[in-house]
Structure 1
Amino acid sequence: MDIEQFRHAPTYQTGFGAAFLGDSLKLLNQLPDNSINLVLTSPPFALQRKKEYGNKNQSEYIEWLAQFASLVYQKLKDDGSFVLDLGGAYEKGKPVRSLYNFRIPIYFCDKIGFFLAEDFYWFNPSKLPSPIEWVNKRKIRAKDSVNTVWWFSKSEFPKADVTRVLTEYSSRMKKLLEDPEKFYDPKKRPSGHDIGKGFGKNNGGAIPSNLLQIPNSDSNGQYLRGCKALGLKAHPARFPSKLPEFFIRFLTDPCDLVVDIFAGSNTTGFVAEQECRYWLAFENERQYLAASAFRFMQEDVGEHNLSHYYQKIMLGESVEVGPDAKQLRLFEKASKYRP
């Protein structure tokens, strides 16, 4: 991955990727067309209440986000994908849901040219009850614990392999696999499904559904430990590593390029590194990007070193986080897949 095309040095870089401080529109423009395999991001949501990490109101949100989506479309490879995590919202002062996150796929497909490859729904069972007014106080609505995750593609047949994200078989299915003839007879069911002998074959796991149940309850990772050690406030809108992990494995190959245009604490870049994918992270808030470097440091790194790297980044210096021995092993592993 060549990062020399960027006009400024990265805030930090690792054996597989680089994080840049700045406006994603300007940074995306510096990438060649048809160069990205996957853009995976969670932008600031269109909430009525302003958040410290910045967010647009609902009336201007779709056109604001479409600026980024148009550039993403231009920079994606023909078989590339754009995965967008969006939380829902209510209309201001009313127990009525906003439709902004459902209007986005219609706009992106009709106006920009994307295809909606599939709609996913991320269920976070650990999410606190919200909104407080309608759920906790008046008790007239249920807890909002599902985000929409839109999988857009540039073509009708994007790169994808669901066998890379198989889920564990249920206990009942495991018993069936031990002795298929005991549990079912191959025949056509009333539903129209033709259940053949192949149904009893062990394929290494079950096909996942488009409902992803992933708790967002990490409290002891390297990123949070680093923030706690230095008395820094962690990014308030992080998604769990299992979410980008699913799509990175599903939609890319080793040594493909993954980009997050609203990187925040850079979970996407960290997971991409673990999965031997090259990555780029764009973020316009320096303090968030500086702290995100903690993810790539060894678990036994001392508070002094954490502070040293953090202060250098905050002062505008470009640093290398590694490559350490672990990253070098990853690099050697990924080299096997290079074309």
Structure 2
Amino acid sequence: MNLRLAYETRLGKAYNGDSLELLESLDDNSINLVMTSPPFALLRQKSYGNKVGDDYIEWLSQFAAKVKEKLCEDGSFVVDLGGAYERGVPVRSLYNYKILIKFVEELGFHLAEEFFWYNSSKLPSPIEWVNKRKIRAKDSVNTVWWFSKSAFPKADVRNVLVPYSERMQKLLKDSKKYYDPKERPSGHDIGEGFNKDNGGAIPSNLLQIPNSESNSKYLRYCKKIGVKGHPARFPGKLPEFFIKFLTDPDDIVVDIFGGSNTTGEIAELHNRKWLSCDLDNEYVAASAFRFLDSTVTAKEVYDQLVNGQYVDLKQYTLV
């Protein structure tokens, strides 16, 4: 399949085709962040395609090796991977951990940090072990590996601070009442500077983000026009966290399994340049809805894109 530029916006370009071809076309050491959620190694085949077992690991490693060449020295590769079970038994697959080890020990990535995405709105699964036999808890956590090309990738946690807890807010208002600087039993010496207001708390590596989108513009336009939305979208707050954390304005963000192009939309909102690529032409066509402001325009654009035409979205009002 030949790589095709489907549409572009003020800051980004969306491609239809094999993202290995897209990666090959890019300059080495030119990308700041690759943020993606590849098709998971699920036993049940999905409409968007997926492999299983060792075949999956080898398949994904092709992309990772090429990503490493294209990343800047301080660039990052963030991969969201859902959990899975072995076939026919209530035993967890280790595929996501095998990917972690292979990428580090064989491909030369560094594991900058492991993150875990807790999706409180995820439905109970797998049905056999959770719903029917009731011998396993529901799987609500994805592993999100933050790989880096060097040991010191670009990152600034001050860009992703979270609101202080209620107790911390009280401490900042009246430190003498709630705070006693001294050495703790653990041996940590907590000094006077601990009660300084830094604008927010440092986030943990457990990202609590519900994936409960039901009435977004993307889904409304899909419904209005009569096309199927991508079934495995991640919520915008997931790529947003890493885009803000690991990049600066005008940096380049790439999603090699673009799907509905959530990554591109969030990158555009935060003034990052972006590239997105997906094999499925219909998913790419529908992803343009994220950058349009009317269903009339959306129908026209979708028809052009699904028929293989290029569309310059800069002529339309963007989000």
| TM class by smaller structure | over 0.9
Aligned position for 1:68: 63
Q: Is the 8 A contact 2:292 2:317 kept in 1?
A: no
Q: Does 1:22 align with 2:17?
A: yes
Q: Which consecutive residues of structure 2, in runs of 5 or more, have no partner in the other structure?
A: none
Deviation at 1:59, TM superposition (A): 2.8
Task: Work out the CA distance in 1 between the residues paired with 2:215 and 2:284.
Answer: 19
Shift of 1:98: 0.4
Aligned to 2:140: 145
Q: Which residue of 288, 292, 297 maps to 1:297?
A: 292
2:150 aligned partner? 155
Aligned residue runs from structure 1 range 188-267, under 5 A: 188-267=183-262
Q: Distance in 1 between matches of 2:237 and 2:100?
A: 24
Paired position in structure 1 for 2:169 = 174
| Percent pairwise identity | 64
Is the contact between residue 3 and residue 16 of structure 2 (CA under 8 Å) also seen in structure 1? no
Distance in 2 (CA, whole Å) between partners of 1:45 and 1:27 is 21
Do the aligned residues in 2 keep the contact of 1:90 with 1:96 (CA within 8 Å)?
Answer: yes
- Give the ranges of 4+ consecutive aligned residues of structure 1 lying more than 4 Å apart after TM superposition: 323-327
Q: Which residue of 2 aligns with 1:110?
A: 105
Name the structure 1 match of 2:299. Answer: 307
What's 1:317 paired with?
Answer: 309
- Deviation string, structure 1 residues 237-292 (Cα, Å, up to 9, x no partner): 00000000000000000000000000000000000000000000011100000000
3-state SS in 2 of match to 1:152? strand
Counterpart among 272, 282, 289 of residue 287 in structure 1: 282
Q: Are the counterparts in 1 of residues 35 and 79 from structure 2 also a CA contact under 8 Å?
A: yes
Inter-partner Cα distance in structure 1 for 2:184 and 2:315: 56
Q: How many Å separate the matches in 1 of 2:65 and 2:262?
A: 24
Q: Is the 8 A contact 1:126 1:215 kept in 2?
A: yes
- 1:26-61 Cα shifts (integer Å, max 9, x gaps): 111000000000000000000111111000011311
- In 2 relative to 1, CA 234–9 (structure 1 residues): closer, same or farther, beyond 3 Å? closer
- Pairing 1:276–2:266 present: no
Q: Summarize deviations over 1:7-29 as a string: whole Å, max 9, x none.
A: 96520100000000110111110
SS in 1 for 2:298: helix
What is the rounded CA distance, in whole Å, between the counterparts of 1:25 and 1:8 in structure 2? 9
Instruction: From the superposition, tell whether residues 8 and 134 of structure 1 become closer, same or farther in structure 2 (CA, over 3 Å).
Output: closer
Q: 1:135 to 1:196 in 2, by over 3 A?
A: same
Question: Secondary structure, in 3 states, of the residue corresponding to 1:11?
Answer: strand
Normalising by structure 2, we get a TM-score of: 0.98
Partner of 1:12: 7
| Alignment CA distance shift 1:186-1:96 (3 Å) | same
Work out the CA distance in 2 between the residues paired with 1:221 and 1:174.
33
8 Å contact kept, 1:15–1:323 = no
In structure 2, what residue type is equivalent to 1:313?
Answer: L
SS of the equivalent of 1:112 reads coil
CA-atom RMSD in angstroms: 1.2
Could you tell me how far apart the structure 2 residues matched to 1:294 and 1:274 are? Answer: 15
Letter aligned with residue 298 of structure 2: L
Q: Does the CA-based 8 Å contact 2:3-2:22 persist in structure 1?
A: no
Match of 2:46 in 1: 51
Conservation of the 8 A alpha-carbon contact between 1:41 and 1:84:
yes
Q: Is 1:40–2:48 an aligned residue pair?
A: no
Distance 2:142 2:207 in 1: 10
Deviations for 1:67-113, whole angstroms, at most 9, x for unmatched residues? 00000000000000000000000000100000000111110011110
Aligned letter for 2:209?
I
Distance (Å, rounded) in 2 between the aligned partners of 1:210 and 1:292: 29
User: Which has the higher mean CA deviation after the structures are superposed, 226-235 or 259-268?
Assistant: 226-235
Equivalent in the alignment of 1:333:
none
Q: For 1:290-327, what per-residue CA distance to the aligned partner results, in whole angstroms no more than 9, with x for missing partners?
A: 000000112xx1x3321100000011111022355667
TM-score (norm 1): 0.92
Between the aligned partners of 2:267 and 2:85, the Cα distance in structure 1 is 33
Partner residue of 1:125? 120
Question: AA paired with 1:111?
Answer: E
Q: Which residue of the partner structure matches residue 88 of structure 1? A: 83
Quick check: 1:297–1:322 contact (8 Å CA) kept in 2?
no
Tell me how far 1:64 sits from its aligned partner: 0.7
